[in-house]
Amino acid sequence: MNKKEIVLEIKDLVVEYTSESGTVHAVNGFDMVLHAGDTFGLVGETGAGKTTTALSIMRLIAEPQGRIISGSVKFMGEELLTKTEAEMRQIRGGKISMIFQDPMTSLNPVMTIGEQILEVIEIHQSELSKIDALIRAEEMLELVGIPKQRFNEYPHQFSGGMKQRVVIAIALACNPKLIIADEPTTALDVTIQAQVLELMQELQKEFKTAMMLITHDLGVVAQVCDHVAIMYAGKVVENGTVEEVFRTTKHPYTVGLFGSIPNLTHNVERLNPIKGLTPDPTNLPAGCTFHPRCPFAKDICATTIPKNTVLKGENIVECLIYEGLIEGVTHV
């Protein structure tokens, strides 16, 4: 039984966006628990609601189009959804940091990288003198592998991988309890991606920080995560330790994700993608949202919403098969 301190606990989070074309049901009852020092991977196709979930934690959902309808987001036991904007500004950057997907848009082009690291330190560690804050900023730059001599250079003078290192330095500058990394290596080539992931792991261990990693890449999850949640149409359909989910995959969607990855031991002419498209979030299917694409779907799947079924270990799956409601199918 895991006795580590719970850093983040989300229960039944529901987030919607309103537009001229209708209501976008972005997140539909999201649940997760993240413990101190652990890395939690969040995987799913584009439009599954991963980034919206992350923005909800930070309370950065664009209003009035976006709205957190219901649910609970607790950070270190404190409810974030009831905090004022002034209280959230003290938490963002200081206690919870976010690494965004594109380093090109994460940095201010008219400020030096040193000024941008220094700014977050001065805001959240105001007790430090200017000299101490400057020393801390230079140390953070060196920590991510950039010489402090480049402190006064601008973002356009750095490559994509170096920019992402600067963003990581900003995120870690105030020793946050939680880092949310939203596809931090998507814009980078494979070699630089490996370096950035290794750097993030090293710094996470050094600072004992919990991390929520949003990615499309199951290989990245296998490399750096302790737990993983598979998200589809705004809900977690399978959740557990990385070893359980990878070795004993249960949900038909998760099976489909693994089936679409090239296998080095099998010669095939074509990959095996999941048939169909992700559902329109303004018009989600009734019952199980995955049923129009599921090879095991029966009539009951179109009318009955599956519940969370706790399997062996920590593995949780949301599928009628594991509730014993689909005749002739006991497992995937």
Interval 251-272 mean pLDDT: 82
59-116: pLDDT as tens digits = 999 888 999 999 999 999 999 999 999 999 999 988 999 988 777 788 999 999 999 9
Question: Is residue 24 pLDDT above 50, yes or no?
Answer: yes
**Residues above pLDDT 70, as percent of the chain:** 98
Question: Is residue 122 pLDDT above 60, yes or no?
Answer: yes
Q: Please state the three-class secondary structure of the chain as a single string.
A: CCCCCEEEEEEEEEEEEEECCEEEEEEEEEEEEEECCCEEEEECCCCCCHHHHHHHHCCCCCCCCEEEEEEEEEECCEECCCCCHHHHHHHECCCEEEECCCHHHHCCCCCCHHHHHHHHHHHHCCCCCHHHHHHHHHHHHHHCCCCHHHCCCCHHHCCHHHHHHHHHHHHHCCCCCEEEEECCCCCCCHHHHHHHHHHHHHHHHHHCCEEEEEECCHHHHHHHCCEEEEEECCEEEEEEEHHHHHHCCCCHHHHHHHHCCCCCCCCCCCCCCCCCCCCCCCCCCCCCCCHHHCCCCCHHHHCCCCCEEECCCCCEEECHHHHCCCCCCCCC
30-58: pLDDT as tens digits = 999 999 999 999 999 888 999 999 999 99
131-188: pLDDT as tens digits = 999 999 999 898 888 999 999 999 999 988 889 889 988 988 888 999 999 988 776 7
Question: Is residue 1 pLDDT above 50, yes or no?
Answer: no
More confident residue, 200 or 57: 57
Per-residue pLDDT at 308: 87
